[in-house]
Structure 1
């Protein structure tokens, strides 16, 4: 089927011709024949790199020509940025939404396509973004994540709400790893397209004793080192390919990258440039180690890296300069970084019950990265067996096995608590019966047709809890959110977090910054740092000096004490950031990376913002100091810099330099004049700052221009790596 024969705008056809796209792949043709241009819903369950995104893009442009608006949901912020860049520059307006979770973002309605994470769309629904009613096409990328214990319920409820609100909306769901595509397609009233076709042949095998065992043939791998994983990489690089190596932890990723760099020993200008780019921004040992690896042709990739470091690695791999990346499973979650050979070295991962095998679906996501279209004659996905007896077991457990079935997570009481509150607050429902009626539109209800379900009991317990906490009121059959409940829903915090914050606000003996920081670190919304072996003793001593600052009580039980210590440790990190401790020192103190600091700060700023809003309802005198701590934490500054940080173009570094030179207020900066502050800010920024002050155009919380780079808090390109944890171990 030729692209020229499709009902597409000429501008898009021209773009495709310019990129050599003249005809559709067989699975893409099957999607067209399934009726995607006639408005039919579709579940496209085809392998990675088989052209799912192109199918969605074609249909989006068809909708735009007809006056429609499209919403493209992705699981990760980094993937949202990638898709935004893919869709831009093709004659339509594209917006990306991954930021603050309590805004309507009305401006997004000016776009033809909006790319957003499922959490952001859920927030937009709660805050009644008016443009959502204009959506005519919903695309759900990586739809198998409905089965995610952490985030699946949100994705499922978002789809159900949008379909309820826009009944005529077309839905296209995309995934490479759905074990029961028929069930998911049935819920979506969708045509189903499945295929095993790939543009590059995928060979899956198991490596053992110097040989890769594929089904039907074998391949010898030269032993250039004593390590199997490195030999597999060197073999691929020797024939002109690139390698991705998936390991179980950050430490393992870093260690392998060092070994790979030592084995490759490349010297190329492109690698030197990439290494120089990393070194220029690196303020930590982690960044410096990464630069050393990159200079020789290898890299590691995980959530501890800063956004800038990850971007350099990804770009240098896409251009072919970096030959080998070792990664935790974050790279398999959707980023477009294919390689000729993918090595799944660690198929066991540490969990709550010790080491356990990774899911089949996760293996399939990793294996799907093998084979670069138009660059590789084939792709290889290779598991490494510890012994010959394990070879056949790995074949059966992963290569021959289908991915797990997608099952709903919507009967979780913790998940339903927040989603039922949002249904009530947005008046999607106004009675218990209407809650159950709406839940009947979910995938959970579709799965449990004819089966006994406990959803009635779960819904009743959740509503009783919401009424008991005064987030909702019930008059006879009528349910309504209170001002408190409506605020919690709009703030997008877990109702349990809100209850903990409100209880502390009401009962706090006196305001302390550390008391608030430790409190928010105990909430379900904060992913806390892991404890190391020596941490409990250090934390015990710290609490001896600071226990009077706490808003919570030190628990007695061992499990509760461990969780408490984790929250205290996380609060200590946040406290250091707000006291202007350098990024390098924080990384050393807490054994974290720059990306971890960003993730913790971003979450804490959001929770403190929520606490400041709740304080207006329950303890108004605390609202101001809480909000001030939020601003300090956002920019990583001491309280004395608050008057300066409100000036546009002034951030963490510049405000400190001005303050240390005796300019502690905007008035003192104005008195100093452009000539005196220009050496610190530069002539242009200095003039603009003076103009702001003279024109009294100082905002309460204006983004700091210089600190987007200087503090490494780059909000547009960060990734929600919540599933990886802090150390990936």
Structure 2
């Protein structure tokens, strides 16, 4: 089907054609034939890189331009939201594309005139709790990665949000999914057309590495279980083809020279010989970092002088993203200079972005990553190496899900650059090869299963349904849950209905729901709007009420935050640090705002984890160097910042709850204890720097330099010489700081001096 035949404005069709899209590929054509442009609800199940996003774009443009409706695009991660926002903004300059992924306590201000709104499921769920008027303009909801309904973390929120939207509005629903075994069940629940395709624009070759050889298995390969492991894995040398007795099973074998003594390094060498790039997936952050160290030794000789110069510039940026570079920053920068990098959640956002861009530009030859990269941004490579197919689960090492394997292999092959992509799994012992072949290469992805039945999840969403008046009595509440994917899958709602009744009873005990009818109290409504677990909110309220009459310290509130559901996972207390954490807990006990367990009680270990989490935050606001925090608490800079973002939101929530209850939580100066702590957590500073960080571009490092040199308030900033200020914080920042305190005439003199210099 030709793009020119679509019912879209000529200007838009011409822009598609100019960008090289002249014909629809098979899944795109199937979607259009199934009624995509007529507003049919649809589930599109196809491999990664099969063109699913363009199907969504056609549906969005159709609803926005032809039907004058708003299109909502739901993504699972903020990083994906940023990527889609950039892509859609560039392609559709005439449309108002907006992204909303931040503050969970607002209804989406400014979205009334948006054409395309990109959100995470959590953000959309949050906005629905505020009942914004703009949602009634929605004509299309696209759910990217809809198979994540099976995720214990994100699935229930997505499930409830979709159920709620379908109950509330009449719109077109488009779900984009990887190939899964029960996509028909998902389509039936949503009463949607199912479009399935195994089309991939770049052929994917799945292979297994063992010894010095890689064997690639075709899609129609069938394992002969009667053969021994040795027989079934034997094949000719070189790149010859082996034909099985049936005549339908063919495997291709590739020899890999052992130049470095490690499979990943040898495969990278082979990748570079082909003038290509690779991604290596590892099961841990430490594993990814070590892998990257080794890969740098292989990739460095492949770099030209100009590439080394450009990578040096990028490495300097990466190293100096934080005020004081940590060993992780230096390690990553050193790797990048050699054309290699690691990528995991321990990096801060700016570092991950720099690595991704350098890889897309072809400067970085290999990225060693944890599986989070596979579920995140679109970062394809010619070759994907799956170094680890097992990970530690708490009960020992276990195989990863097939769906996760397919997400990682889906990164192999770059459309427009490669004819084929290679996904190579490493068999680390002779018996593992057939296991990989059966489980992954020839295996089928797991069924999507609802995870809605967990009581903490039901508690949060039940309060939301009551607080927004979506459900006004128990029968409406039961009726809502009967429309969920969980109800469709399991049929028997007795267990869930019993849990819902228990949850409602608990919410009444918390005074979040009225006793006599299914109505929210004022506090209950605010808890729902704040997007906080009712358990967390109830615990914080009890602590805050005690804080009015109890002597408090920062640890009082830090421990309170650490006890919330939102602070999970908390850092594990290692055996060697147990005594230190326990002593800190005993020292802090008189300031903790709740009763604490004795060491023989079951909750004691949990309280120790909360204490360690509190000490981590205490170290941050005490201006402990990030390197020391990382080494002492085993939390990397990216993890520290993630914790502080969570803490910021929870403290804001605590402030709102204290306001609702008219609690007076002020220190000796009459300042809000919570507001001070919030600012300290945001910037990672001691109390004495609060004045300085209120100025633009003055963070913990610059503020400390200024303070230690006697510059502590507005008067000091005005009186200090520009020369001294420039030496302390740099010329550009010094100029901005002087302007902020009304010292602008100095810059005319400064410009004159620059001219004569």
TM-score (norm 2): 0.87
Please state how far the C-alpha of 1:119 moved relative to its aligned partner: 0.9
Q: Deviations over 1:529-565 (max 9, x none)?
A: 2333422122123334433332341542476333222
Task: Report the CA distance shift for 1:376/1:170 in structure 2 as closer, same or farther (over 3 A).
Answer: same
Residue correspondence of structure 1 range 223-622 to structure 2 within 5 A: 223-266=258-301, 267-268=303-304, 269=307, 270-281=310-321, 283-449=325-491, 451=492, 453-475=494-516, 478-508=517-547, 509-527=550-568, 528-552=570-594, 553-557=596-600, 560-618=603-661, 620-622=663-665
Q: Are 1:33 and 2:71 matched, yes or no? A: no
Give the Cα separation in 1 of the matches to 2:523 and 2:689: 33
Please state how far the C-alpha of 1:358 moved relative to its aligned partner: 0.5
Give the Cα separation in 1 of the matches to 2:52 and 2:198: 13
RMSD: 2.2
Any conservation in 1 of the 2:584–2:611 contact (CA below 8 Å)? no
Larger Rg: 2
The 10-residue stretch of structure 1 (393-402 or 452-461) with the greater mean CA deviation from structure 2: 452-461
Task: Report the CA distance shift for 1:159/1:26 in structure 2 as closer, same or farther (over 3 A).
Answer: same
2:741 to 675, 687, 690: 690
The 10-residue stretch of structure 1 (622-631 or 429-438) with the greater mean CA deviation from structure 2: 622-631
Please state how far the C-alpha of 1:74 moved relative to its aligned partner: 0.6
The 10-residue stretch of structure 1 (388-397 or 417-426) with the greater mean CA deviation from structure 2: 388-397
2:96 to 93, 96, 108: 93
Task: Report the CA distance shift for 1:203/1:649 in structure 2 as closer, same or farther (over 3 A).
Answer: closer
Task: Report the CA distance shift for 1:416/1:331 in structure 2 as closer, same or farther (over 3 A).
Answer: same
- Secondary structure of the equivalent of 1:353? coil
Give the Cα separation in 1 of the matches to 2:609 and 2:175: 38
Any conservation in 2 of the 1:612–1:622 contact (CA below 8 Å)? no
The 10-residue stretch of structure 1 (232-241 or 515-524) with the greater mean CA deviation from structure 2: 232-241
Structure-1 residue corresponding to 2:678: 630
Any conservation in 2 of the 1:349–1:357 contact (CA below 8 Å)? yes
The 10-residue stretch of structure 1 (662-671 or 341-350) with the greater mean CA deviation from structure 2: 662-671
Higher RCO (CA < 8 A, seq sep 6+): 1
Give the Cα separation in 2 of the matches to 1:245 and 1:108: 40
Q: Are 1:181 and 2:183 matched, yes or no? A: yes
Give the Cα separation in 2 of the matches to 1:426 and 1:61: 31
Give the Cα separation in 2 of the matches to 1:493 and 1:692: 44
- Secondary structure of the equivalent of 2:452? coil
Give the Cα separation in 1 of the matches to 2:743 and 2:679: 20
Any conservation in 2 of the 1:555–1:564 contact (CA below 8 Å)? no
Task: Report the CA distance shift for 1:208/1:673 in structure 2 as closer, same or farther (over 3 A).
Answer: closer
Give the Cα separation in 2 of the matches to 1:381 and 1:372: 12
Give the Cα separation in 1 of the matches to 2:340 and 2:609: 34
Please state how far the C-alpha of 1:616 moved relative to its aligned partner: 2.0
Any conservation in 1 of the 2:268–2:298 contact (CA below 8 Å)? no
- Secondary structure of the equivalent of 1:106? coil
Give the Cα separation in 2 of the matches to 1:557 and 1:171: 53
Please state how far the C-alpha of 1:444 moved relative to its aligned partner: 1.4
Task: Report the CA distance shift for 1:231/1:677 in structure 2 as closer, same or farther (over 3 A).
Answer: closer
- Secondary structure of the equivalent of 1:207? strand
Structure-2 residue corresponding to 1:6: 6
Task: Report the CA distance shift for 1:686/1:228 in structure 2 as closer, same or farther (over 3 A).
Answer: closer
Please state how far the C-alpha of 1:238 moved relative to its aligned partner: 1.4
Structure-2 residue corresponding to 1:196: 198
- Secondary structure of the equivalent of 2:545? helix
Structure-2 residue corresponding to 1:59: 59
Task: Report the CA distance shift for 1:233/1:149 in structure 2 as closer, same or farther (over 3 A).
Answer: same
Task: Report the CA distance shift for 1:196/1:561 in structure 2 as closer, same or farther (over 3 A).
Answer: same
Q: Deviations over 1:171-198 (max 9, x none)?
A: 1111114221011111222111111110
Give the Cα separation in 2 of the matches to 1:682 and 1:504: 41
Give the Cα separation in 1 of the matches to 2:153 and 2:338: 38
- Secondary structure of the equivalent of 1:286? helix
Structure-1 residue corresponding to 2:133: 130
Any conservation in 2 of the 1:56–1:139 contact (CA below 8 Å)? yes
- Secondary structure of the equivalent of 2:286? helix
Please state how far the C-alpha of 1:300 moved relative to its aligned partner: 0.8
Count of aligned positions:
689
Give the Cα separation in 2 of the matches to 1:676 and 1:280: 23
Structure-2 residue corresponding to 1:19: 19
Q: Deviations over 1:185-232 (max 9, x none)?
A: 112221111111100111112221222222222222221221122222
Task: Report the CA distance shift for 1:618/1:369 in structure 2 as closer, same or farther (over 3 A).
Answer: same
Please state how far the C-alpha of 1:654 moved relative to its aligned partner: 4.4
Task: Report the CA distance shift for 1:384/1:686 in structure 2 as closer, same or farther (over 3 A).
Answer: closer
Any conservation in 1 of the 2:43–2:174 contact (CA below 8 Å)? yes
Give the Cα separation in 1 of the matches to 2:552 and 2:132: 35
- Secondary structure of the equivalent of 1:214? strand
Any conservation in 2 of the 1:106–1:131 contact (CA below 8 Å)? no
Structure-2 residue corresponding to 1:211: 213
Any conservation in 2 of the 1:677–1:686 contact (CA below 8 Å)? no
Give the Cα separation in 1 of the matches to 2:493 and 2:676: 51
Any conservation in 1 of the 2:717–2:738 contact (CA below 8 Å)? no
Give the Cα separation in 2 of the matches to 1:635 and 1:692: 25
Please state how far the C-alpha of 1:621 moved relative to its aligned partner: 1.4
Give the Cα separation in 2 of the matches to 1:129 and 1:234: 55
Q: Deviations over 1:664-713 (max 9, x none)?
A: 444665677989867757465235413599xxxxxxxxxxxxxxxxxxxx
Task: Report the CA distance shift for 1:84/1:495 in structure 2 as closer, same or farther (over 3 A).
Answer: same
Please state how far the C-alpha of 1:334 moved relative to its aligned partner: 3.3
Please state how far the C-alpha of 1:442 moved relative to its aligned partner: 1.4
Structure-2 residue corresponding to 1:715: none
* Structure 1: segments with no counterpart, 5+ residues: 694-729
Give the Cα separation in 1 of the matches to 2:623 and 2:403: 43
1:139 to 130, 139, 142: 142
Structure-1 residue corresponding to 2:109: 106
The 10-residue stretch of structure 1 (389-398 or 427-436) with the greater mean CA deviation from structure 2: 389-398
Task: Report the CA distance shift for 1:500/1:400 in structure 2 as closer, same or farther (over 3 A).
Answer: same
Q: Deviations over 1:340-371 (max 9, x none)?
A: 11111211111121211111111111111111
Structure-2 residue corresponding to 1:700: none
Structure-2 residue corresponding to 1:120: 123
